[in-house]
Chains A and B, each alone.
Chain A
């Protein structure tokens, strides 16, 4: 889209455009983004102060959360901020830079600073490999946390549905959600999240990614009331497992330190219907057991057809099934599966294993 669309090509003339295809020696502290994605962009000044991040994805196709309109909107917002900074006097410049750009990282860090990557990887470093080596390194260092899996939370998890054309205007709110409780309203334009200036939906996700769990999220919105525009500060308290979302699309899922202890694949539509299940039902067939791990704890058998996990269905792939396990359970929890074995539906129960991996490198 950024390369071929005529309107975006025209808008690009106001920018110096850079395309980077590998992550070797890139400053990860500055260029922090969801490394499982295949396309992400940054808008910066010549000193690499960041005006905005644009991109991000979810379980749908890679560019489902992006649009020509929202990219043009972000580009326009960036140009306004850039002009403001260029006009600023020397006295005002430090304050305006603080207001208009994302917080600068304390010190640079590169993929080569991850010991496992430095020791085991040669050649081009791809984005997803950074996230994978970070997971493996954190496990090796005894610092792995489940939260590391659920980065860049989706605004929908707070009850916020944003207008796809701008990425920062509230289109609608989920009833009884944290966003409603905080006082957000449709058509509000989100201007800041925890002090970070917002010019795209991905800016919001980055701000939420950085948010701590012990403090409410501070949101500043621009709101039109009786023809007057006002800035309103709100405090949003997230609820439950608000950071969680489907991990099935993430390449880094294979490097999560979880011993599934079995392999499986999702049955096709015809095979599901032949078994007498309705169209749309998802079944994962266990094809091999590799103890130890969750499979052994559940006493799974080769040929078992998994119909639900924790009462939930809807996993279209084995990766989505694995994601569902990670969303629902923590080590030590009792995992509940329903399986079809020899024509009978059985309920299996077993302990979610402790985090563990023997992997030290990423393919």
Chain B
């Protein structure tokens, strides 16, 4: 039961993060962005935003 609940929570969290990326248009994982760039034929725009 607990295991099932954890799986449901993880799926909910990951789909929420993915949805957030789609809304903002910014990816946070370079590897998956490279894959998407290859599939779409688009170049990458990579921003380093460092907070101090």
Contacts and interface: CB of A to CB of B under 8 A. Distances in A.
Interface of A: 2-3, 9, 12-23, 31, 33, 37-48, 51, 75, 78-79, 82, 86, 126-128, 251
Interface in B7-35: 25-30, 33-35
B3 interface: no
B1 interface: no
Contacts of A44: 43-44, 46
A16 B50 contact: no
Given A46-B34, A46-B38, A251-B52, A16 B47 contact: no
Given A46-B37, A48-B34, A20 B43 contact: no
A16 B33 contact: yes
B45 A43 contact: yes
Contact of A21 (B25, B45, B51): B51
Given A12-B25, A46-B37, A46-B38, A17 B45 contact: yes
Interface residues of B, number: 25
Cβ-closest 6 pairs across A and B: A127-B50, A15-B45, A46-B38, A46-B37, A19-B26, A16-B37
B49 A45 contact: no
Contacts of A21: 28, 49-51
A15 B42 contact: yes
Contacts, number: 114
30 contacts: A3-B26, A12-B25, A14-B42, A14-B43, A15-B42, A15-B45, A16-B44, A16-B45, A17-B45, A17-B46, A17-B47, A18-B44, A18-B45, A19-B28, A20-B48, A38-B50, A38-B51, A38-B52, A39-B48, A39-B49, A41-B45, A42-B45, A42-B46, A42-B48, A43-B44, A46-B35, A126-B50, A126-B52, A127-B48, A251-B52
Given A18-B30, A38-B52, 11 more contacts: A16-B40, A16-B45, A17-B33, A18-B26, A21-B28, A37-B50, A43-B43, A43-B44, A44-B46, A51-B43, A82-B42
B43 A78 contact: yes
Contacts of B40: 16
A46 B44 CA distance: 7
Contacts of B36: 16
Contacts of A19: 26-28, 47, 49
Contacts of B42: 14-16, 82
B43 A18 contact: no
B50 A128 contact: yes
A353 B26 CA distance: 48
Contacts of A15: 42-45
Most buried by B among A17, A47, A48, A79: A17
Contact of B26 (A17, A23, A38): A17
A20 B49 contact: yes
A41 to B, nearest CB: 5
Nearest to A9: B25
B46 to A, nearest CB: 5
B11 to A, nearest CB: 24
B41 to A, nearest CB: 6
Residue among B27, B41, B42 with most chain A CB within 10 A? B42
B32 to A, nearest CB: 9
Contacts of A51: 43
B50 A23 contact: yes
B25 to A, nearest CB: 6
A14 B45 CA distance: 9
B43 A41 contact: no
B9 to A, nearest CB: 24
Given A45-B37, A46-B38, A48-B34, A16 B43 contact: yes
A127 to B, nearest CB: 4
A20 B52 contact: no
Contacts of A45: 37, 43-44
